[in-house]
């Protein structure tokens, strides 16, 4: 899925253009950055409501070429500046995380599938 399709599906706004053409293979939605790092897969879209620069850092570590911020939460300038510097695309959707994810899934973007269940021993 390309970014134009993401924007159409979630009625998003492009805040930072990507440095390269982006072809997304999957998406993951989370506000917990460590969780994102568990999911990591190349060419993944990061859907998050966490708008601080760590979202961009995490996308960089996970090699996610694009980030979709949700629930209309406009990111602070330092987040946009970091994204610009790292060539990571940033988009903003007015929908909640749940609805943005649903719309993207409906439009054909898949997740990363099942993960092993980790049990806490106490």
Question: Which C-beta is closer to another protein: that of 7 or that of 86?
Answer: 86
* Residue 35 in contact with another protein, rule: CB under 8 A: yes
- Using CB under 8 A as the binding criterion, the count of chain residues that bind another protein stands at 27
Query: Of 17 and 85, which has the nearer Cβ to another protein?
Result: 85
Q: Does 38 engage in binding with another protein (CB under 8 A)?
A: yes
Q: Is 114 an interacting residue with respect to another protein (CB under 8 A)?
A: no
Tokens of 105: 């899934």
The DSSP-derived string for 39-106 is H--TTEEEEES--SHHHHHHHHHTT-SEEEE-TT-PPPHHHHHHHHHHT-EEEE-SS-HHHHHHHHHH
Q: Report if residue 87 touches another protein, rule: CB under 8 A.
A: no
Angle at which helix 53-61 crosses helix 77-86, to 10 degrees, equals 20
- Window of 1-9, 12-20, 26-34, 92-100 that interacts with another protein by CB under 8 A: 26-34
Report d(CA 39, CA 113) in Å as an integer. Answer: 9
Which residues contribute to the site for another protein (CB under 8 A)? 31-35, 37-38, 40, 42, 48, 50, 52-55, 57-58, 60-63, 78, 118-122
């Amino acid at each position: 899925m390309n970014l134009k399709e993401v924007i159409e599906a979630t009625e998003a706004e492009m805040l930072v253009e990507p440095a390269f053409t982006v072809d997304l293979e999957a998406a993951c939605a989370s506000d917990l950055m460590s969780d994102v790092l568990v999911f990591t897969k190349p060419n993944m879209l990061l859907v998050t409501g966490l708008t601080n620069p760590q979202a961009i850092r995490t996308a960089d570590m996970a090699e996610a070429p694009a980030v979709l911020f949700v629930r209309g939460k406009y990111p602070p300038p330092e987040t946009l500046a970091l994204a610009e510097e790292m060539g990571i695309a940033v988009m903003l959707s007015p929908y909640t995380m749940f609805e943005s994810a649903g719309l993207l899934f409906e439009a054909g973007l898949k997740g990363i599938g099942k993960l092993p269940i980790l049990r806490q021993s106490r």
